């Protein structure tokens, strides 16, 4: 009877663990999954970045002359790590946040380096790095003349190096996750026994529940 119960519990525990992991994955989307289609502006910006590291939306052309654009594009292409700049405008162009566009661009261009997205009016752009981490902080500050701000950014990227990503996650991988969980569960179980025990004692019963863990080993009936 005891062993049948134990087997059922082990099965339940496995099922619960599987279910928990599934729930966790459904709440934390898989980044390996392909992005939803990005639309015309994403495509235009991606093509421009692949061709010459710079995209300027039609409605932002007044911010930077063709000559300035040529200089910025050359500098961005020469930078190491590579710099990619999208002056993308502000509206509803098939993506939500500038960070979303950066993600589309990283996905579409597929080259390691620093990606800057600027809507053309905020004081600061949005920077995302792929293929590693930049060794120094690169400010996406866009104050002042557009060409000067972009050159400032490109110089900062060029001065930095691309460090390999520290590939362990917040928990330190499977091992760290398992050990952290072990700590959590033991703490939680002790707290639970304490609460149950105190409630039992207050209601006049013994602190410990009937039945001992050693019963599993000894098979004792008493």
| Interaction residues for other proteins, span 39-68 (CB under 8 A) | 39-42, 44, 57-59, 61-62
CB atoms within 10 A of CB 19: 10
With binding defined as CB under 8 A, does residue 148 bind other proteins?
A: no
* Distance set, CA 10 to CA 13, 16, 214 (Å): 5, 10, 18
Using the rule CB under 8 A, which residue among 185, 191, 198, 199 binds other proteins?
A: 185
Q: Is 110 in the site for other proteins (CB under 8 A)?
A: no
The CA–CA distances, whole Å, from 64 to 61, 67, 151 equal: 6, 8, 12
**Contact flag: residue 205 with other proteins (CB under 8 A):** yes
171 binds other proteins (CB under 8 A): yes
* 13 vs 159, beta carbon nearer other proteins: 13
Nearest to 106 by CA among 80, 92, 136, 126: 126
Least distance from C-beta 74 to other proteins, angstroms? 25
User: Site for other proteins (CB under 8 A): which residue of 70, 148, 159, 181?
Assistant: 181
When asked if residue 28 is in the footprint of other proteins (CB under 8 A), the reply is yes
Contact call for residue 187 and other proteins (CB under 8 A): no
- Residue 110 or 173: the one with the smaller Cβ distance to other proteins is 173
Among 91, 110, 141, 194, binds other proteins (CB under 8 A): 91
For 82, residues 6+ apart whose C-beta sits below 8 A from its C-beta are 53, 76, 111, 112, 113, 114, 157
- 115 neighbors 150 (Cβ within 8 angstroms): no
Q: Are 73 and 82 in contact (CB under 8 A)?
A: no
Rounded-to-integer distance, Cα 4 and Cα 8, Å = 6
Residue 197 beta carbon to other proteins: minimum distance, rounded to whole angstroms: 12
């Amino acid at each position: 009877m005891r062993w049948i119960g134990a087997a059922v519990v082990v099965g339940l525990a496995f099922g619960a663990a599987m279910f928990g992991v599934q729930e966790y994955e459904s709440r934390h989307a898989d980044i390996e999954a392909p992005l939803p289609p990005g639309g015309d502006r994403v495509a235009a910006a991606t093509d421009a970045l692949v061709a010459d590291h710079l995209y300027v939306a039609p409605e932002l052309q007044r911010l930077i002359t063709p000559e300035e654009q040529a200089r910025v594009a050359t500098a961005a292409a020469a930078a190491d790590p590579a710099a990619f700049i999208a002056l993308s405008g502000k509206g509803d162009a098939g993506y939500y946040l500038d960070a979303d566009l950066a993600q589309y661009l990283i996905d579409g261009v597929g080259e390691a380096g620093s990606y800057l997205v600027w809507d053309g009016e905020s004081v600061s752009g949005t920077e995302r790095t792929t293929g590693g981490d930049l060794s120094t902080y690169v400010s996406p500050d866009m104050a002042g003349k557009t060409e000067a701000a972009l050159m400032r950014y490109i110089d900062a990227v060029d001065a930095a190096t691309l460090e390999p990503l520290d590939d362990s996650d917040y928990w330190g991988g499977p091992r760290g996750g398992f050990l952290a969980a072990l700590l959590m569960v033991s703490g939680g179980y002790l707290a639970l026994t304490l609460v149950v025990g105190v409630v039992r004692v207050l209601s006049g019963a013994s602190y410990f529940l009937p039945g001992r863990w050693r019963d599993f080993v000894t098979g004792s009936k008493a």
